[in-house]
Amino acid sequence: MKKITLQSEIEVAQTVAELSGMDAQLLARAKEAAKGAYAPYSNFKVGAALLMKNGVVVIGNNQENAAYPVTMCGERNAVFSAAAQYPNTPIEAIAITIISAKGGIDRPIPPCGSCRQVIYENEIRHQCDIRLILQGDIGKIYVIQSVKDILPLLFDASYL
Ligand code: THU
């Protein structure tokens, strides 16, 4: 059988000093947003900060529930809030980070599959790639130019 190889491109910054001023600021806003997460069950606070094309920054964080599956991720809260407030404005970038109970997680936190799908829908809706800036509690930062890079074989409306 023939094989196909799927490739992803990720830029890696060792510290925030390597980021653009805007991306560094956005990551700082995401860290602030994580402080406000409601995560009493996992103690894993996720913060997201979106930069919109109109310059507005919209934040989101995870909101947990005693009925666990009702929990909503920080990224989706931010994207849905942005879409509700500015339905005609594309999102340019999203920074995602955490404050974990474990502490010291130095691997960048990727959005879960559902959040990737939601971010992709927003790219399609506005015909605008969304740059992802990902960090753990500390350490290196991944910069990814579009969620398509980390969502291979994605499902979209072209199949419908
Ligand atoms: N979580 C997010 O907010 N975003 C993700 O992409 C993955 C997981 C949250 C959900 C839950 O509150 C906690 O992290 C542990 O799974």
Domain assignment of residue 89, given as a range: 11-73+84-151
- Cβ burial of 105 (10 Å; 0-12, 13-18, 19+) is middle
Domain of residue 118, CATH code:
3.40.140.10
- Residue 35 CA to ligand 1 centre (angstroms): 14
Three-class secondary structure of residue 76 per DSSP: helix
Is 9 labeled as catalytic in the residue annotation? no
Q: pTM (2 decimals)?
A: 0.97
Catalytic residue, candidates 64, 75, 92, 123:
75
In a domain, 61, yes or no: yes
Q: Which of 112, 117, 134 to mutate to test the pocket of ligand 1 (most atoms within 8 A of CB)?
A: 112
Tens of pLDDT, residues 4-52? 999 899 999 999 999 999 999 999 999 999 999 999 999 999 999 999 9
Q: Average model confidence (pLDDT) for the chain? A: 98
Work out the percent of the chain whose per-residue pLDDT is above 90.
99
Tens of pLDDT, residues 119-142? 999 999 999 999 999 999 999 999
In a domain, 4, yes or no: no
